Structure 1
Amino acid sequence: DFTGDMPVILGPDGPSLGGFVCPVTIIQAELWKLGQLRPGDKVRFTRLSPVEARALEVRQDQDIASLAVSTAPILVDANALGDDDCIVGMRPERGARPRVVYRRAGDKYLLVEYGPIVLDLELRFRAHMLMTHLEAQHLAGIIDLTPGIRSLQIHYDSRVLPLSALLGELFRIEDALGDIGDIEVPSRIVHMPLSWDDAATQLAIAKYMQSVRADAPWCPSNIEFIRRINGLDSIEDVKRIAFGASYLVLGLGDVYLGAPVATPIDPRHRLVTTKYNPARTWTPENAVGIGGAYLCIYGMEGPGGYQFIGRTAQVWNTHRITPEFEADKPWLLRFFDQIRFYPVSAEELLTFRDNFLQG
């Protein structure tokens, strides 16, 4: 992935969602090499066809089963390499049904994209319907389903569920979906405290200026940058819009640990910004930021690129079951929840955070 000029390889602990540009995906049989990398190592990518990726995976499975590493070369019939185009299927727009594009995302993922590259809630609802239909099928080989703004990423085991069979099932479901103009989805209103321009986010900006980029146009104040780039008269205007908005959760796992990607239902509340370039190396847990037209609550400390507006309560609880964090669901938010922030001081937020995880 690329965030600005910085390349990132996401490993097994990577997020479910993200806003980075992803030009290539490492194949399953080569993932073990990521664990061997050290600072200062150099990485080069070699293009492989899906057939070659499959042959390497078969060899790896055999080596693991026998506990003996084979050194014999892997021979692949050049005539059997097949088509390695990214787009493996497409359905044209038909009436109320949007165009569907099926994109190969490495040898273990398939990305289903609906319609044009626009923020359209109806496209998000269609991806949701596809996800629920797939879940109801209980297909062997489906590992995980991750809906995005207008897409559904399918993680599958190609040894159990070949791509051709998966595409056939997706085509069948798409025919059955039809027009979804009357769809209804559950939606809760979740009120969350927000410490505006919190000290923790100010510290993250200071660290960024000290160690990454002191002359970035979003420094020393991300909120002032948001004001400027949106043509608002004052920082109070930014604050009024942020606290007046109802943010609809369109995805979970943006960054890490149940972090929501959300956008205001009312377009008048949509603040648009660029992201950090280069990215931050540190972001406080539960910082709230805006990137593009979307808001994110960071589920844990880590790198990041969204422009800060403050900090809120936890969205993930690893160790306790409470009324807000259910058994086997340690994340707070659900798809299509509406987040509404209310102002608290930094001190009030710290007290709230201490109590919240305890129930």
Structure 2
Amino acid sequence: MIYDELKILTGGDRYVTVEFGNELTLDLNFMAQGLAKALVEQKVTGVIETVPCFASLLVHYDPERIRHGDLARELLRMAGQLGSIENVTLDSRLHYIEAHYLDPWTKACIDDYSAKITPKEYDPAFVARINGLKDAEHLARVHAATEYWVSAIGFYPGIPAMMALDPRCVVSAPKYNPPRTFTPAGTIGMGGVSNTIYGVESPGGYQLFGHTPVPIWDPKRRFKRAFEGGLVLLRAGDRVRFIPVGREEHGEIARLVAEGRYVHKIEGYQRFSVKAYKAWVAGLDKTQRP
């Protein structure tokens, strides 16, 4: 739910967290990102950086330039000025990312987990079954039929937390228990209703069903234009659309990436209106999946 009153939580002497609610919903994230945008636009003294999460906003500040109490009051004032969620507009890029669904690399990862840790059903089949889909291929079609909203950038380098913008494409799944010790870089997976791309090889607990050769983490700075001079491709407030490709095209893209010649497919910043988005959702036939 959305809290009637925001919670301002202290994080040491340089951080505060603004909590908008206790659910994983797009509305709460729109509010968090709306407040982050307002802090930038109004150039609040002493604010260094903001980090949106699903239902909250972490604010990094300089205590020598603004007191904790003054910042808390300013945050409450600015959040109140946002008004209705529908008033929020955000700058958003759209990334087209090629994805090989039901790929051999994540299957090998799942098989390794089943052999060495505990037996489990093939992830795509499991996710399809518990969401009432026909089979793994149906899951792949549904997953590729929507844009995904980047709610936050997470705890591994460049890893996004994303939610489906088309409610007809929302699927959910529990995380592994216990988690994996290894996940291939480029793996696409989900936990709960959160979707992600693993930017580096790492442990993990999301259900796996696809792989992309497209880099989202660039420590060697080989793709400066797409990464806008940084190390991380995606930003909170971006959108992602997965483009299904086969094994051969996946391999060709991987070759271009290795040679440093891959060109990321990105539509520049556009104004994302929450009001317009909600009007679009209201007009959908939600009785059937795409």
TM-score calculated relative to the size of structure 1: 0.64
* Cα distance in 2 for residues equivalent to 1:303 and 1:108: 30
Partner of 2:190: 290
- Out of 110, 113, 129, the position equivalent to 2:16 is 110
- Out of 317, 338, 350, the position equivalent to 2:251 is 350
Partner of 1:101: 7
Deviation at 1:223, TM superposition (A): 0.6
Seen in structure 2, the aligned counterparts of structure 1 residues 230 and 180 have a Cα distance that, compared at 3 Å, is closer
User: In the alignment, does 2:108 pair up with 1:207?
Assistant: no
Seen in structure 2, the aligned counterparts of structure 1 residues 228 and 330 have a Cα distance that, compared at 3 Å, is same
Instruction: Kindly indicate whether the alpha-carbon contact (under 8 Å) linking 1:284 and 1:300 is maintained by their aligned counterparts in 2.
Output: yes
Q: Matched residue of 1:110: which SS?
A: strand
* Cα distance in 2 for residues equivalent to 1:207 and 1:224: 17
Deviation at 1:274, TM superposition (A): 0.3
Q: Matched residue of 2:225: which SS?
A: coil
Letter in 2 for 1:281: T
Letter in 1 for 2:208: F
Deviation at 1:137, TM superposition (A): 5.0
Letter in 2 for 1:113: E
Higher share in strand? 2
TM-score calculated relative to the size of structure 2: 0.78
Cα RMSD for the two superposed structures: 2.5
Deviation at 1:131, TM superposition (A): 0.9
Instruction: Kindly indicate whether the alpha-carbon contact (under 8 Å) linking 2:52 and 2:236 is maintained by their aligned counterparts in 1.
Output: no
Q: Which has the higher contact order (CA 8 A, sep 6+)?
A: 2
* Cα distance in 2 for residues equivalent to 1:228 and 1:255: 29
Deviation at 1:105, TM superposition (A): 3.9
Letter in 1 for 2:10: R
Letter in 2 for 1:188: R
Sequence identity percentage: 33
- Out of 164, 168, 180, the position equivalent to 1:264 is 164
If you compute each CA radius of gyration, which structure gives the higher value, 1 or 2?
1
Deviation at 1:160, TM superposition (A): 5.8
Instruction: Kindly indicate whether the alpha-carbon contact (under 8 Å) linking 1:199 and 1:346 is maintained by their aligned counterparts in 2.
Output: no
Deviation at 1:263, TM superposition (A): 1.3
Instruction: Kindly indicate whether the alpha-carbon contact (under 8 Å) linking 1:255 and 1:299 is maintained by their aligned counterparts in 2.
Output: no
Q: Matched residue of 2:75: which SS?
A: helix
What aligned pairs does 1:128-207 form with structure 2 within 5 A after superposition?
A: 128-138=33-43, 142-156=47-61, 158=63, 161-207=66-112
Partner of 2:209: 309
Q: Matched residue of 1:103: which SS?
A: strand
Q: Which moved more, 1:346-355 or 1:272-281?
A: 346-355
Instruction: Kindly indicate whether the alpha-carbon contact (under 8 Å) linking 2:151 and 2:163 is maintained by their aligned counterparts in 1.
Output: yes
Deviation at 1:270, TM superposition (A): 0.6
Partner of 1:59: none
Instruction: Kindly indicate whether the alpha-carbon contact (under 8 Å) linking 1:283 and 1:303 is maintained by their aligned counterparts in 2.
Output: yes
Partner of 2:275: none
Letter in 2 for 1:111: T
